[in-house]
Amino acid sequence: MTPSPASPVAGASRQSRPAWRKLLPAALVVLAVFGVLVGLGTWQMQRLAWKEDLIAKVQARVHEPAQPVLVEAEWPQVGYEQDEYRHVTAQGRFRHDLEVQVYALVDSAPDGSGGPGYWVVTPLVMADGSTILVNRGFVPLDRRAPSSRAEGQVDGLVTVTGLLRMPEDAGPFTPGNDPAKDSWFVRDPLAIAGAKGLLRTAPFLIDADAAPNPGGLPVGGLTRVNFSNRHLEYALTWYGLAATLLAVFAAFVWSRLRR
């Protein structure tokens, strides 16, 4: 009896199996990379929601009427989420002798200055003896010394209005503070208070508003309240890379299986 010829379908199946086995490791790698790319895109979408919420809160807070700053008993409850950029007012007397200058780089100021300079951070001692550090504003490099802007060293009882700011985080390229040399790059109220021997100091600062100081310096009201928001762009980039990866791999698989 003559044996029947092998089924064409069965032969094709036997030929395709080795090709699929060879492609399996690459498929697993592509799947892992695809998962990472999609995860990064999703993370950027989460960051987008967080940033939009932050922008909405900041814009609402900075335009609210100024409220008296939180009293000392409330300081332990102060936090970024509920208090950052809150519009506040405080009254007290400046300790100009304990002023520090924190290195700053600003795009521009209303008086035409800008570029490198310093934030002038001065303790404000209130009637109950507690202290809040006030970022009074910007001065250029050549006006760092208080004696070069003596008119701005106001005496007596003052009222400060501005935005409540939490301690600043140092960036990856920001030099560390050096209290021994009175060299400051990050606005850290408790570190400054410790270096100056201040007790009962708030764990936050006030960024003074644009009310002019005598002599024109420091220049207040330079708090940045506009934030870059490119998270949607980044998310679409990651998702696009994930889709491109799948398309390229599909084309690669198709070309291998057609051989």
pLDDT digits (tens, 9 = 90+) for 112-121: 667 899 999 9
What is the dihedral sign for C-alpha 138, 142, 145, 151? negative
| Of 252 and 219, more confident | 219
pLDDT at residue 16 in the model: 45
Q: 186: which 2 tokens?
A: 């990050």
Angle between helices 231-257 and 8-62 in degrees, nearest 10: 180
Cβ neighbours of 98 (radius 10 Å): 18
pLDDT at residue 109 in the model: 67
- The mean predicted confidence, pLDDT, of the chain is 88
pLDDT at residue 143 in the model: 94
Confidence of residue 165 (pLDDT cuts 50, 70, 90): very high
pLDDT at residue 170 in the model: 76
Nearest Cα neighbor of 130 from 173, 74, 183 is 74
- State the DSSP code for 197: T
pLDDT at residue 119 in the model: 97
| Of 143 and 52, more confident | 143
Q: How many CA atoms lie within 13 A of 134 on its CB side?
A: 30
Nearest Cα neighbor of 256 from 94, 83, 20 is 20
Query: In whole angstroms, what is the distance from residue 100 CA to residue 235 CA?
Result: 41
Considering the chain, what percentage of its residues have pLDDT values greater than 70?
90
pLDDT at residue 128 in the model: 95
pLDDT at residue 184 in the model: 95
Q: How many CA atoms lie within 13 A of 136 on its CB side?
A: 26
Q: How many CA atoms lie within 13 A of 20 on its CB side?
A: 6
Confidence of residue 3 (pLDDT cuts 50, 70, 90): low
pLDDT at residue 46 in the model: 93
| Of 78 and 169, more confident | 78
pLDDT digits (tens, 9 = 90+) for 79-105: 988 899 999 999 999 999 999 999 998
Confidence of residue 56 (pLDDT cuts 50, 70, 90): confident
Residue 235 near residue 48, CB atoms below 8 Å: yes
pLDDT digits (tens, 9 = 90+) for 177-214: 999 999 999 999 999 999 999 999 999 999 999 999 99
